[in-house]
Amino acid sequence: MPDLVVRLGLPSGTRAVIVSCDELGLTHATNSAIFEALALRRTTSASLMVPAPWARASTANYRGEDVGVHLTLNSELDLYRWAPITQSPSLLDGDGAFPRTIEDVWEHADLDEVRREWRAQIERAVLWGFHITHLDTHLAGVELKPEFFDVYLELAEEFRLPVRLPGVEAEERIGFPFRAEAEERGVVAPDHVVPLDELGNTAAQIIEGLAALPPGVTEVHAHPAIDSPEIRAATPDWPERVAAHAILGQIETIVAGAQQRGVTFIAYRELAALARREPRVAR
């Protein structure tokens, strides 16, 4: 199959970057930072965490931006919790919320309940008026067990949506050829995924990091939040979230510098359009 950038209509060897913000709906501070980034084009895409406490409130600010669904089976924070939106006993911990760890989900979750919950999260986002462009997963790991991965791909096929996947270099560590399986089933995914903070913490460092990316489509993702008493109380990693918001405030400089180095910026919408127009794979 041709390289993803070629299928998107870009020249072979292009370094294309999607800048995305995760966990829309987690807190008011998260919503404020992400919608600011979307409105000012400081990010190209975002993903909605449907079961989270501020997810419903996010609909008031949505204006058709590029938003996917951040499929959720975990509630990892000690004092700030969220729960399934379906009746799914195997997805609950002793607090009546999602389990805190991926391993707990793997050990106890019923796959039919996982499928029903994830599908309900997608359908709830659509019901709220979001035009869904992609799927990714909360904590980026629960899907990386074969039976859970199969559910992930089933939903991508059903809704004709691209997904976030780790790069092929992770297959040996994870233990099965998940990228090859996705490709065989016609599921579109960026070639690489990189957290924003791995590229650096200044505009100059990030420009250099973007320029050094391999050819193909790379998703660079962040978890921004405005500084507030709420985010400080909700999550212990609030300094990193506030720092991500500050870096996104410099995105115009970063984009200009990276474009001068040959980087092209796209959104998940382009991948979603590709997923819809390519023929379904017979199974």
Active site residues: 22, 223
Residues 6+ apart with CB under 8 A from 171: 177, 178, 179, 180
Phi, psi of 244 (to 5 degrees): -65, -40
Nearest CA among 62, 66, 88 for reference residue 75:
88
Cβ atoms of 275 and 188 closer than 8 Å: yes
User: Among all chains, which residue has been given the structure tokens 């939903």?
Assistant: 155
Cβ atoms of 47 and 20 closer than 8 Å: yes
Q: How many Cβ atoms from other residues are within 10 Å of residue 211's Cβ?
A: 15
CA distance 144 to 176: 9
> What six digits make up the tokens of 143?
């899907």
Nearest CA among 94, 97, 104 for reference residue 82:
97
